[in-house]
Every structure is written in C-alpha cells, then in structure tokens.
Amino acid sequence: MAPIVWCRKMMPADDKDDQQDRKEEATLAFKTAYVFDISQTDGKPLPDFARVNGDPGAYTERSRQYVTSKSIVLGHSESIGSAEGVSAGGLIKLKKGLTSAEELSVLAHELAHEILHRDRDNMPKEKKVRETEAEAVAFVVCHGIGLDTNSASSDYIQLYNGDKKTLLQSLERIQRTAAEILGAVMDTESKCDTAGGKSCVAAAA
C-alpha cells in the first residue's frame, strides 16, 4: 500500500464567495503499488555515497564534550533506520559502528541542526534548506580539522536538491555555526573568515 497526499481547498466559513481566503486541507489516502527488491532488478550496481575519511584524533571527543556542554543528550543506537544520525530538540543519536571520521561529520551535522533549527520560529521552513545548512556546517568543520570529505557533503546536499544558490542564501548562518563549533573543538577562534568561509561553503556544493 502506497500513501497518497493531496490538498484540497476548503471554503471559508464566513464568506463562501471569497475565493482568495480559501484554505487548503491535506488529505491522506492509500493505493496499491508494485514494489521490487533490488535482487529482482537488472543493471549496473548502484553507486555508494562517498565517505568522510581521515583521523580526527582528539577532535571527536572534544566535539562530544561540546555537545554535552550545551545540555544536549548524546547517545548511540542501532535503531534509527537508515539514518546515520538524528536530532530531536536536545537529543542527538548516532548510529553505532561509524568510523571516527564519520562520527565527527555526522555529529557536526546533527549539532548544526540543534543550533540552527531547534527554535521552530526561527528555522527555514523547507527541509532542503535545513539539510543543506546542516551538511554545509559539517563540511566546513571537517575541512577545518583536516578530514578528507571528498564528495560526501555534495552528494548529501544534492540528495535534497540543494545547490550553490541555497548555500549562499544561508552563508552567514552556516559560517557563524561552523565557526562556533570549530572554535570550541579547536580551543581557539575559527580561521573560517568571510572570504574563506565562502570558498568552503561553495565547495560543498
């Protein structure tokens, strides 16, 4: 059974002739659909996402300490589906079995969500923008401590249809958040200035 969501316009209660004030109501229904397992298909193997590589050394532990210093509960779990990390308003869960480099990257991504998107009144409405911001922050943090990000961040951003335009619109928010995290884990002020930060963020696309 496949879910179907569609919107229908409702007539305003006070004036049935006012077409401009009609509100939309989302309706959910289901229909039958064909589903195939990958073993039942032909063709070239599906490409894997690029991975973050390198040795973050003490930066992983410093990142964990910074997360807990912000009163965010940090844990590991095997039951978060296909995601490598999730955040939910004061709670971050990371998938067990990540390499140290992958863990730092995912942790920076989820921490960016906590910093930028915890306040629902001040967060972008589009998921594309929220995911682009979080992954761009993770890219800058990983780049700042010397990890090899290859195309991992750009792959992720493109998965959500993000692009350079989306990145540049959030440039100030991304720079500020990445500088905050880098300043904490490196125990010094971040060197990601306006010009350098712009280059880092553009590279993530």
Q: How high is the mean pLDDT in each 10-residue block of the chain (205 residues)?
A: 74 56 72 88 81 92 94 90 88 93 95 91 88 93 91 81 83 94 76 46 52
d(CA 166, CA 145): 25
Residue-level pLDDT at 19: 54
Q: 126 vs 98, 129, 132, 161, CA distance in Å? A: 28, 5, 10, 11
| Distance in angstroms (rounded) separating the CA atoms of residues 30 and 161 | 26
Structure tokens at 159: 């998965």
